[in-house]
Structure formats: C-alpha cells, structure tokens
Homo-oligomer: A and B are copies of this chain.
C-alpha cells in the first residue's frame, strides 16, 4: 500500500539521544501501520522506558505480505501472526517497542469466528509471549475498539463501563485488553491499550469492517465514485481521523508507565457525529456534487451492528493523558483531501 509519505528524516537538533531504538509494527502493511511508520520516520526518535529520547534505528514492519519501503531504517518482514515462531522472529532480542495493530476486522471476525480467534486472540497472545521472552520488557501499544461495548449503555460511556461486546471482534479485542493489562501488571510487558474510535476517513479500498461506510461515504465521493450509506442519517458514530489516531498512538508510547494505575486501557477521545452531519460537512467542504453521490439505503444487518456501538464517551482518562479528538468533522475531511488527494477536490 503506497501512501506517498515522505521518508526523509528531518532532525536539526543536536544529538541528545542515548543509544537507539528498534520498533516492531505488526499489521505493518495496513493503513494505520503504514501511516504510523511514516510518522515515526519523520520524527526520528522516541522515548525509551527510562524517558530518554532515542534515535529510531529500525522499524520492522511485520505483516502477511512483505512491504516495499525504501527508507534504510525500515525492514519488511513477512510472517503469520498466528505462528509463534514467526512472531518470535519478528520480536527478537533488542526490540524496544511493539505497536501491535494486526487484526481481523469486525465483519470478517463475525463471519469467520475461528479466524478471528486465531488472529485477534492467539496472535495477540503470541506477540505478548514473544515480548515476555525479551531480557527487558518492551513497550506494547495495542489497538482495541469501541466494539468491546454493546447492549444497554449510559451515553456518554463512562471510563468504568463494563465490557459487553455484542460481536466476536469486540469479544476478541476485550480478551486482548485483559491479556495486555495482566501481563503489564506482571511486568512481562509495559502495555498501553487504546480503544480507538472508528477511524474516518480511512484511505484506500473498502475493507470488511461493518463500520467501513463511515469512511466510504466521504472517500468514494471525493474520488469521483458513488457511495451507499447503509444507515439512516440520524445514526451517530464516534470518530477519529487517521492523523489524530497516529498522534494518540505515539503519545501513548511516550507516556511513562507511572501515568497508569489500575488499568492500561484508555478510551481515546473522539468526535460524535451523525451520518447526516458527515454528509453536510462533505457538502460544506467539497460542494454539492460529491454530497449528491451518497445514496441512503439502510441495510438492517449493518444498521443493527452500528447502532450497537456507543457514539459518545466521557474519555476522561484519555483526555487527562493529553489525548485529543478532532476539532470538527469538516477538518477531518480537509485532512483527508490534503493527505490522500494532494489537496485536490474531484
């Protein structure tokens, strides 16, 4: 997946780094992994567990298919997250930090229960076990999802709301959260769990996530294509732009372990927007023509899944840690146009 990011390192500061840093990104070929990699290369350094800034020496992208990245700091490694030997090979001695993003998405995990269990549960366990074997417990940044919540919920959702996933993806992510938390408590890893809002506008092609249309209804029209919106315009969602997602992932990495108490899990702040408001923002930013490409055609299956997800969170812990949501949805659309379309409207 080519995202056109610069891989130039810009670092005019004096060399204040102590040693250097090796990073692994699982799911490194995915859109979030690619964007994270590009941003890390741009920054050039991260803080280690002792809080010292260290130069990034290597970013290893681990995924089912090896990527082609030309930056000399990037190493592409193909492997299967469900094979512990592959995972150990990826997270070898000398690894400082692991961003564990690899996952089977919601729609696919619901259709193929066993695949979801293997990738989302066994794969996460393999990553954590490989980390545990390292001489020094690495930081592990794990992406969870608002799909861990469902059923009757107070809105906005409190930080101490019970997990009650109503689909297998949510259940599997909730299990991953518990593993990261317990293995952090045991000192096997230094984990941080980010319950990300639905990412919108997600670039690239549609995936099998039930939430896919929350990007598609903006992305397709901006690329001159028609889009189907499978829910009523009044349906609300809890959204985060790719830019903010990456910023919050890196912020979570940089936080010292002392910032965490009884839990490593953070509801990441997001934006509550209705689908109707999203289309209005598209009209405001890009004009009438793209907005007219969206057809409302409710699909009871998708509507049911999406209505089961909470659309507003207190996210107090995340805010206290300094995490930020997008200012408004129009700015999310503008960022997509800048980052993915070179600033050009259709």
Contact = CB atoms under 8 A, between A and B. Distances in A.
Interface of A: 113, 150-154, 159-168, 171-172, 174-175, 178-179, 181-182, 185-186, 261-263
Contact of A166 (B150, B171, B172, B262): B262
* Residue from the set A159, A160, A166, A186 with the largest chain B CB neighbour count within 10 Å: A160
B163 A162 contact: yes
19 contacts: A151-B261, A151-B262, A151-B263, A152-B160, A154-B160, A159-B162, A160-B162, A160-B164, A162-B162, A162-B163, A163-B163, A163-B178, A165-B178, A168-B186, A171-B178, A171-B181, A175-B175, A175-B179, A178-B178
Nearest to A168: B182
Contacts of A162: 159-163
Contact of A185 (B160, B166, B175): B166
Number of copies of this kind of chain in the complex: 2
B262 A150 contact: yes
* Residue from the set A160, A179, A182 with the largest chain B CB neighbour count within 10 Å: A182
A108 to B, nearest CB: 15
Contacts of A175: 175, 178-179
A110 to B, nearest CB: 9
Contact of A182 (B151, B165, B263): B165
A152 to B, nearest CB: 6
A150 B172 CA distance: 21
Given A152-B262, A160-B164, A167-B185, 11 more contacts: A151-B261, A153-B160, A161-B162, A162-B163, A163-B163, A164-B181, A165-B181, A166-B262, A168-B186, A171-B181, A175-B178
